[in-house]
Chain A
Amino acid sequence: MSKWVIKGLRTGIKTTQYPRKMETASGVSPGLPTAAKGTEKEVQELVFNCPTGAIERSGNQLTVDYNYCIHCFRCKRGSQSPMGWDYGYEWAANTKDSGANRGLGSAFNRSINIRFVDGGACGACISEIEQLNKPYYNMHRLGFFATPTPREADVLLVAGPVTDHMRLPLKKAYDAMPTPKLVMAVGACALSGGIFGPSFMSDAGVSELIPVDVAVPGCPPPPLAIIHGLLLAVKRKSSALLTSSEVRG
């Protein structure tokens, strides 16, 4: 019984250093496509292969809309692919709706309560969000806490395309939150409906129902990206872009 104390001490602190230092361990992020410039054939093939239509073409320049990208690697497959790939994870970005909600003031910098609503997610985002509570990512060290009731919540974390059945509960939770408040959409589905929506049973993302302040792309976004989103919500990190910039030269 007493072994766990010794074992724990011997193991030491395994929690990630992020955001103090960038996390460099392998496998913390699947990465995202950045941009590509190629021949007509290559460009056509890449656009054709993208299952969610995230790749946009102008001439022979390709950019990626992260609202749709599910980083399926189809555009990266094969050694000849011109698609660039970024293995980082600081993906969270402010949306065009940012500021529609009365944002959190500086008093919330190191203490926010988060209410998570599953708007019909497939489970991937949920299991990534779950990781935030576990020792490796441990969001409590940053002052982020989960709460069961929206009456105490400052940030509403939503995953999933918002199915018909979850529309009312999501709206109710949003209405029940006191101001100031923020809404954070996690995952491609929550941003654009992803591979599910819009359809006969779901919307095309959270922003159709309530204004979204912070978007975290990815399918699913790795836990570090979600932490980046939370840090962005309290303005401790800067925003990334939701569309990749073109390849120069």
Chain B
Amino acid sequence: MVEASNAVVINGIIVFLSLCGIGIILAALLSNRMNPFGLSLVASIASVSVLLVGGEVLLSGHSVQTELWTLPFLGTLTFKIDRLSALFVFITGLVFLPVSIFSAGYLKRYLNRYNLKTFSIFYYLLFASIVLVLISGDILSFLIAWEVMSIFSYLLVNYEHEHEETTRSGFLMLAMSEAGTIMVILAFLIMAKASGSLDFAALRASAGGLGEVARWAVFLLSFFGFGVKAGLVPSSTWLPRAHPVAPGNVSALLSGVVLNLGIYGITRVNADLLPVSQVGPGLIVLIIGSISALVGILYAATENDMKKMLAHSSIENMGIITAGLGAGFVFAASGLPVLAGIAFIAALYHLINHSLYKSLLFLGAGSVDYAVGTRDMDRLGGLIKIMPWTALFFLAGSLSIAALPPFNGFVSEWLTLQTMLQSSAIHSAGEKIVFALSGAALALTAALAVTTFVKAFAMSFLGMGRSKRVKKVGEVRRSMIIPMGILALSCLLFGILPTYVVPVLDKTVAPLVHEKVADELVPPFFTVDKGDPKFGGAFVSEFHDLGAQVGRSYLPGRGLVILHRGLEKNPVVFAMSTSYTFIVLLFLLGGTFILVKVLTRARKVRRAAAWDGGIRRLLPEMTYTATGFSNPVRVIFNAVFHPSTIEDTKETVAGHFRTAIKNGRKEVHIIDRLIFKPITSFIQSVAVTLAKMHAGSINVYAAYVLIGLVLVLVVQRLLL
């Protein structure tokens, strides 16, 4: 059994890697015109193989390990897939499959403008390196794959290299990413020094031997280093710049997969290799996560560029995931493994959901960009009549990300917020305050997310088209609609079937917290028998009194998600069930529809124009814009945005009269303003001071040399 499973996994990886190789050769051979089709075909098959590998390990639960080859002086390259890797591999496949299909149509826009062969090659290499990052079992292979991944994601973002803006954003992305990598390397080196080996298993074994300072150093370096990739504050500024310039399908990958790698790194190092044993690091993770969430959504709410808005929202979602992880670290360090497990499940669930709906939304934004040629929500509008399918799936994505039931975002945000409420189990008052404030920040974030995506959907798809371009377009081709449909359907499924997802996630989390929480989180309420040792007698009989056992043979499985089982008297504290809600909603909607039809069957319907105040003609310029919709947020959070007004005036020659005044508005991102600006201005002032030494006279330089020599001699004389 184990061997068969191993064979499936190893063969799957071999198939995947060879498919990537075949794809690269094919990409080089095929013409530019045929390349998108080849890419979509081979990459989809490769994604399916990745899905199989991930799914096999996730469900069977056997870690698979294999050694690739030994490098002289450096060590052995090992691959190891445990459940944590498998989960991320599975998500990667889940996102790559639709995005690959989508690319076939989307890449047509670059035909005759850019070289599609290079795109395909970069695409395969990025895909392969992402999977290799996730399955590498030692520091060396991890870092090699990580670097390859960073470079190829940069090359793909930089694909439209003719624009200056693209190149600048690409460089920023590359620079920040490399800075993060250096921090990660340092963290790994500290761990490797203690264990004397590069293998992850050896690192894990020797984790206990590290001192307090080294632990803190590893935590800070790895958290902030991987945080760059995950787009966490303060290293989030590359995200909103890289996304709008990247091709639509690359944006989907960037948000749906590449950001996850940052979370993977943080989880792998701080939960698996060197588990956080103190509350402090956990609180830092929690605080950074909450701040990222709030800052991300504030800028998303006021942004009018569709892709930039989605990028800011990615920062927000990564923040929510990180906050969940932070809560997990704190609970684990305080000796509450069950709550830690729940927090980790919430975080990982949100990670899956974010990958699904964010790639869906990016594909939607890409389709709009493809069809209309603009992403400015102020200029869009009325697209639902022209692109009904895109609109439908974008709506599904918006509902998911706005955390509205029965879609998937609701489940994970519910779990995350409820986890925050569980801080009552912690004893320290200070930690409780941090939890309360983080919970409040996340709640505010959730509310603002609804505002953001009401605006995103309504301003782009509803109302009237606010530019001439909108009237000329049509629906995108079917090969671009179907992938969005796949993602929308997955969003719904992950929303209405949380009770089937949670046990799988529980198995993933169990090795990290050494506790199984599936029965706590999704108890088999309706199928439990009296006298079950895990469930109290009073509790079970209360459910039996309600008639819970009546339809047990018809119920397909566990249907409720609860967060806490309280006392015997009062068993359920927080519970929800999207599965049953969905069924009830369907019945209610269907019933209402039929009722209305029956009641009004004799009624004659008269159609007349909607009341518009009696104006002669409603012009697009008169309708509500995205800027107008988000202005309340802009006003309320003025202190965060801190805009500066630019006044551009024209005067007559003599300067007595002003002939024109133009007011502009300039915003500097709060992170740039508060963190990066002071640093750059400090360094610049130091440089200016030092520059005074360079007087330009050769005698002065000769004097510097002489003084330097004397100083060296004096120091040497004094020390020796």
Contact = CB atoms under 8 A, between A and B. Distances in A.
B601 interface: no
Interface stretch (A26-34, A73-81, A171-179, A227-235): A171-179
A175 B614 contact: no
A99 interface: no
B615 A150 contact: no
A150 B611 CA distance: 7
B472 interface: no
Nearest to A174: B608
B616 A151 contact: no
B596 interface: no
A44 B610 CA distance: 53
A199 interface: no
B614 A168 contact: yes
Interface in B581-621: 606, 608-616
A169 B615 contact: yes
A164 to B, nearest CB: 11
B608 A173 contact: no
A176 B611 contact: yes
A149 B610 CA distance: 11
Contact of A151 (B606, B611, B614, B615): B611
Interface string B616-638: 10000000000000000000000
Nearest to B608: A175
A172 B609 CA distance: 8
Interface string A176-206: 1001000000000000000000000000000
Interface string A121-151: 0000000000000000000000000000111
B616 A176 contact: no
Size class of the A contact interface (CB-based, 8 Å): 10 to 19
A172 B606 contact: no
Nearest to A171: B614
Interface string B236-271: 000000000000000000000000000000000000
Nearest to A117: B614
Contacts of B610: 176
B611 A169 contact: no
A176 to B, nearest CB: 4
A172 B613 CA distance: 8
A169 B617 CA distance: 10
Contacts of A172: 609, 611-612, 614
B606 A149 contact: no
Contacts of A151: 611
Contacts of A173: 611, 614
B334 to A, nearest CB: 57
Nearest to A166: B614
B609 A175 contact: yes
Interface residues of B, number: 10
Interface in A61-104: none
Interface string A148-176: 01110000000000000000111011011
Given A168-B614, A169-B614, A169-B615, A176 B609 contact: yes
Contacts of A176: 608-611
A34 B612 CA distance: 44
A176 B611 CA distance: 6
Contacts of A169: 613-615
A151 B613 CA distance: 11
A150 B613 CA distance: 9
A223 to B, nearest CB: 25
Nearest to A168: B616
A162 to B, nearest CB: 13
Contacts of B614: 117, 168-170, 172-173
Contacts of A170: 614
A170 B612 CA distance: 12
Nearest to A152: B611
B398 to A, nearest CB: 28
A149 B609 CA distance: 13
Nearest to A176: B611
A179 B606 contact: yes
Nearest to A149: B611
A219 B60 CA distance: 90
B600 to A, nearest CB: 13
Contacts of B613: 169
A224 B238 CA distance: 71
A161 B614 CA distance: 17
A236 B696 CA distance: 104
A114 B306 CA distance: 43
B44 to A, nearest CB: 50
Contacts of B608: 175-176
Nearest to B614: A169
A176 B613 CA distance: 10
Nearest to A115: B611
A179 B604 CA distance: 11
Interface string B467-508: 000000000000000000000000000000000000000000
A172 B610 CA distance: 9
Nearest to B606: A179
A169 B612 CA distance: 9
A176 B614 CA distance: 10
Nearest to A169: B614
A175 B616 CA distance: 14
Q: Most chain-A CB neighbours within 10 Å: which of B606, B609, B611, B615?
A: B611
A58 B608 CA distance: 48
Interface string B627-654: 0000000000000000000000000000
Contacts of B615: 169
A168 B614 CA distance: 7
Nearest to B617: A168
Nearest to B612: A172
Q: Most chain-B CB neighbours within 10 Å: which of A150, A151, A176, A179?
A: A176
Contacts of B609: 172, 175-176
Contacts of B606: 179
B618 to A, nearest CB: 11
A150 B616 CA distance: 16
Q: Most chain-B CB neighbours within 10 Å: which of A151, A172, A173?
A: A172
Interface in A29-63: none
B288 to A, nearest CB: 49
A175 B614 CA distance: 11
A227 to B, nearest CB: 26
A117 B615 CA distance: 13
Nearest to A165: B616
Contacts of B611: 149-151, 172-173, 176
A170 to B, nearest CB: 8
Nearest to B604: A179
Contacts of A149: 611
A149 B612 CA distance: 9
A150 B610 CA distance: 10
A151 B615 CA distance: 15
Nearest to B611: A176
Contacts of A168: 614, 616
A169 B609 CA distance: 12
Closest 3 CB pairs of A and B: A169-B614, A176-B611, A175-B608
Given A151-B611, A172-B612, 8 more contacts: A149-B611, A168-B616, A169-B614, A172-B614, A173-B611, A173-B614, A176-B608, A179-B606
Interface of A: 117, 149-151, 168-170, 172-173, 175-176, 179
Interface of B: 606, 608-616
15 contacts: A117-B614, A149-B611, A168-B614, A168-B616, A169-B613, A169-B614, A169-B615, A170-B614, A172-B609, A172-B614, A173-B611, A173-B614, A175-B609, A176-B609, A176-B610
